[in-house]
Amino acid sequence: MTRDVTRLPRQSWSPVTRTTLVTAGVVAALWCMGLTDRVRAHEDEGKPQQARATPSAAMQTGMVSSVNSGQIRVNDTNYPLDAAVSVSDDEGHPRDLNAVVPETQILYHVHRGHVDHIVVVLPK
């Protein structure tokens, strides 16, 4: 025997209940977003702004061969330097571009074909 589903009673939510549920969902989402922002802010506490800008997963590692007039040669590949290139050491302290010299081990980030962030790996 088959049941005719068109004759089953329809359960519906009242407009007030729907509005309450949607509002509760939006409030919960906003609360979670605020909570994650606070957690991120706590993790970034004490780090220089430029050290936070580039995720380490996007960084490449290499040995500097040369640095001159807006270009850097890393692992036998030339890259132009971004006009606003940021340089820091592996402890998160800002450094000058003069700290990047041949035979220096670095982490670097390439954005649109230009190196925009360099992390100098200090000898341990």
27, 19 Cβ separation under 8 angstroms: no
Tokens of 55: 């995720």
114, 82 Cβ separation under 8 angstroms: yes
Residue 20 near residue 71 (C-beta atoms within 8 A): no
Residue pair 23/74 in contact by the 8 Å Cβ criterion? no
**CATH match of 54-120 with 2.40.50:** yes
**For the chain, what are the domain ranges?**
13-44, 54-120
pLDDT per residue of the chain (124 residues) written in tens, 0 to 9: 566 656 655 566 566 666 776 676 666 665 555 544 444 544 545 544 444 445 556 889 999 999 987 999 999 999 999 999 999 999 999 999 999 999 999 999 999 999 999 999 988 7
Read off the pTM. Answer: 0.56
Letter string b/e over residues 22-36, b meaning 16 or more CB atoms within 10 A of that residue's CB: eeeeeeeeeeeeeee
